[in-house]
Amino acid sequence: MSASTGSRGTGVAGQPGWFGEFGGQFVPETLIPALDELTEAWADARGDPGFHRTLEDSLAHYVGRPTPLYRARRLGADLGLGLWLKREDLCHTGAHKINNTVGQALLARRMHKARIIAETGAGQHGVATATACALLDFECAVYMGEEDMRRQALNVERMELLGAEVIPVSSGSRTLKDATSEAIRDWVTNVDTTHYIIGSVVGPAPYPGLVRDLQRVIGDETVRQLAEGDTRPDAIFACVGGGSNAIGIFTPFIEHNRALGATGTAGRRDARARETGGSDQASGRVKAGGSDQAGGSDQAGRVELVGVEAAGHGLDTGRHSASLTAGEPGVLHGNYSFLLQDDDGQVIPAHSVSAGLDYPGVGPEHAWLKETGQVRYESVTDGEAIAAFQDLCRLEGLIPALESAHALAGLRREAGRWAGRNVVICLSGRGDKDVEEVARLLDRGGS
Amino acid sequence: MNVPGGTAVPAARAGSRIRAAFEDREADAAFIPFLSSGFPRPADTPRLLERLAADGADIIELGIPFSDPLADGPTIQAASWRALEQGVTVESTLDQLAEISGELPPVVVFSYLNPILRMGVERFLARAEAAGAAGLLVTDLPVGSHPELERRLAGGALDLIPLAAPTTPRARLETILGHASGFLYYISRLGVTGARKALDASLEDQVRGLRKTVRLPVAVGFGISTPEQAAAVAGMADGVVVGSALIAALGRGETAFGELSAALSAAVRREA
């Protein structure tokens, strides 16, 4: 399947920076040369063994990779399935975000930039950026919504200790969306000296592809570790805000599924039409007659991929962050993807108990993976996520980030479907940062 | 991108009203004020447009509010937010424009892409044309970012105004000019919209360089806030755009807005 098979021609599908009809570079003119420069620099670095050696060395000895693939026996027994956790919470700084920031900071050094800026929601990307900047000697400014600064006060302290300037954003909903807009405005102003490290697979091209390339180490390690344990996975679950940990763990499995010529059982009408119109099914390697209810795993060797969005207070309340599940296509922060918006094309503020998922857009590659049925997207509420957070604490002695708890909750909701099978969850971060907020919410709930 | 419809080729324009506006003012630079639709109150917009026309605006940029205005500084962000809180939309803005009976100079609709996509490109174009708009400037649709969409937006009667910035390399400038109609909007400095104390020292060289190679009129905007700065830019460019300073004045009251608009208009005519 290629990006150019889209039935709704755009004139650009199949070109770099596009995922079917999604993606693009919808930014003020001032930034176009900087995006061109970044595209070239990344193409150049990708092809440079020296760059890879430096990056791999940093990932191994500084970040702490490979992270373990841990068999969670107690929680697995509780759910009635074989459960593995990809322990991104054990990365230095406590989340997968640092895979991206170390890579981009090394890239910024190649580009001779002196200053780095970032946006942050939960503060994990901000901390990971501040860390990489301390390591590689960059001036660093991090934009953070005032509401998030309240929710994630500890991470604000961490960034400042690491030498970064944390700039409060008081416009709009005072969360990640507004911090991202403000970071882009800074970049437009200081583009000559400054590199913008975006924290997820969002933003204008080349960012969605660049961040995916830097995060796919999660999935590449998972493939290797599963093979070492002779384990065949049936499903992978990951939380999706912007979607970087999900793309990171999914990418090698997407490639695996594509190589099988598998069709997504979650695919929408047009995705099926594309598949039948294409040649992928001609390979004959896909077992016919699989039941959709079985999650597609009865297609030989296919791994079902499930992205879990934040349903906040519930999809019907309008207070959620489920862009793929409940949004419509539109343009925000430089790309065309699914978006929470009203009938006039104004962006609706997102809500999630998890600051890191509290974003009304989503990476354009996810939009395409959804439309082509390669990944199934579900959503769980704040309450379900907090319950799953408590499960992991009590059954495994692991305090997960509230973001990652959404992936756990997504699995719990359909655990029956995976009974006796093997499931991997991307545990994208640890939850120390969330302890206070969870305690506050549990207190309020009277439990 | 799912934007249904055909792929129209730009129609040959018998004569662009925007080009005519520049040609009519051969001796002077054109005064191009920006007004944020629906600010401070939706009902004010038609009267303010007429006021700018009376003050001698040669072209008016009419900004459609957007929830996430990436290219705008605090003044226009706040004005947009205020307008959105009062329910201002693309449709309500175009409706108001259509209802103005008095003579207005050519109006350039200034918008971010998403509200146009949401409305539907063909529907937007039809409504904007019917409302009497002469041009369209889409802040986050740089030339070449979506050729089919650009063709369709340029295929109607509206001039699609391109932007160029100090970062724009020569080769890209030529690409941009290949798609341009109306005038070239030159961003005077790196950054978002908003008043600045001083103009960029190299602006004059940049603009003179541009005018040697660009056949379209060149209007300069971003950060021009005082009559003195407007006069200085009028001495080098074909047009002077003032936005945030006028919106900030409007925030202080219509009297302040009128005084600044009249002073800017006079300064542009006087030149430095």
**Residue A299: is its pLDDT beyond 70?**
no
**Residue A62: burial class (beta carbons within 10 Å; 0-12, 13-18, 19+):** middle
Q: Are A323 and A309 in contact (CB under 8 A)?
A: yes
Amino acid at A336: Y
In the prediction, which pLDDT does A51 show? Answer: 98
pLDDT band at A2; cut points 50, 70, 90: very low
Query: Inter-chain contact B68–A185, Cβ cutoff 8 Å?
Result: no
Q: Are A176 and A148 in contact (CB under 8 A)?
A: yes
In the prediction, which pLDDT does B197 show? Answer: 83
Domains of chain B by start residue, with CATH: 27-270 (3.20.20.70)
How would you list the strands of the sheet with A194-196, edge to edge? A165-169, A139-145, A115-120, A194-196
A414 is catalytic: no
A interface test, pick of B145, B149, B196, B202 with most A CB neighbours within 10 Å: B145
Query: Inter-chain contact A34–B91, Cβ cutoff 8 Å?
Result: no
> Hey, do A34-61+97-213 and A64-93+216-445 end up sharing a CATH topology, with the first three levels equal?
yes
Instruction: Please tell me which residue, B96 or B3, carries the higher pLDDT value.
Output: B96
The correct CATH number of A64-93+216-445 out of 3.40.50.1100, 3.40.50.300, 3.40.50.2300, 3.40.50.880 is: 3.40.50.1100
Query: According to the 3-state scheme, what is the secondary structure of A58-86?
Result: HHHHHHCCCCCEEECHHHHHHHCCEEEEE
pLDDT band at A13; cut points 50, 70, 90: low
From chain A, pick out residues whose CB is under 8 angstroms from the CB of B115.
Answer: 344-346
Q: Is the ipTM of this structure higher than 0.90?
A: yes
Query: Alpha-carbon distance A256 to A326, whole Å?
Result: 28
Interchain contact A5–B (C-beta under 8 A): no
**Residue A233: is its pLDDT beyond 80?**
yes
Find the catalytic residue in A21, A58, A88, A97: A97
**Residue A379: is its pLDDT beyond 50?**
yes
Interchain contact A334–B (C-beta under 8 A): yes
Q: Report cis status (omega within 30 of 0) of the bond before A206.
A: yes
Say whether A347 sits in a helix, a strand or coil. Answer: strand
How far, in whole angstroms, is CA A162 from its chain's centroid? 24
In the prediction, which pLDDT does B42 show? Answer: 98
A404 closest CA partner among A361, A357, A351: A357
In the prediction, which pLDDT does B213 show? Answer: 86
Residue in the block written with tokens 């708009």: B133
* Active site (catalytic) residues of B: 61, 72
A interface test, pick of B9, B68, B93, B244 with most A CB neighbours within 10 Å: B68
Number of neighbours of residue A385 by Cβ within 10 angstroms: 30
Q: Which residues pair with A86 in a beta bridge?
A: A69, A426
Q: Are B72 and B193 in contact (CB under 8 A)?
A: yes
> A34-61+97-213 has which CATH code?
3.40.50.1100
Query: What would the mean pLDDT of A207-233 be, rounded to a whole number?
Result: 97
Query: What would the mean pLDDT of A172-177 be, rounded to a whole number?
Result: 85
Nearest CB to B1: which of A10, A33, A177? A10
In the prediction, which pLDDT does B4 show? Answer: 44
Q: State chain B's mean pLDDT as an integer.
A: 91
Query: Inter-chain contact A190–B141, Cβ cutoff 8 Å?
Result: no
B interface test, pick of A18, A30, A192 with most B CB neighbours within 10 Å: A30
A304 is catalytic: no
Nearest CB to B146: which of A12, A178, A332? A12
Encode A170-186: b = buried (16+ Cβ within 10 Å), e = exposed.
ebbbbbbbbbbbbbbbb
Interchain contact A12–B (C-beta under 8 A): yes
Nearest CB to A346: which of B7, B66, B187? B66
Interchain contact A415–B (C-beta under 8 A): no
Quote the radius of gyration of chain A (alpha carbons, Å). Answer: 20
Query: Inter-chain contact B192–A21, Cβ cutoff 8 Å?
Result: no
Q: How far is A362 from chain B (nearest CA, A)?
A: 15
Weakest mean pLDDT among A167-176, A190-199, A245-254, A422-431: A167-176
Interchain contact A134–B (C-beta under 8 A): no
**Residue A103: is its pLDDT beyond 80?**
yes
Per-domain boundaries in chain A: 34-61+97-213, 64-93+216-445
Query: What would the mean pLDDT of A405-420 be, rounded to a whole number?
Result: 98
Among chain B residues, CA nearest to A180? B70
From chain B, pick out residues whose CB is under 8 angstroms from the CB of A177.
Answer: 68
pLDDT band at B27; cut points 50, 70, 90: low
Residues belonging to chain B: 272
Helix (H) or strand (E) holding A145: strand A139-145
pLDDT band at B24; cut points 50, 70, 90: confident
Encode B28-60: b = buried (16+ Cβ within 10 Å), e = exposed.
bbbbbbbbbbbbbebebbbebbebbbebbbbbb
pLDDT band at A283; cut points 50, 70, 90: very low
Nearest CB to B67: which of A8, A33, A346? A346
pLDDT band at B196; cut points 50, 70, 90: confident
Among chain B residues, CA nearest to A34? B167
E strands, chain B, in order? 30-36, 60-63, 107-111, 135-138, 159-160, 163-164, 184-187, 218-221, 239-242
In the prediction, which pLDDT does B179 show? Answer: 77
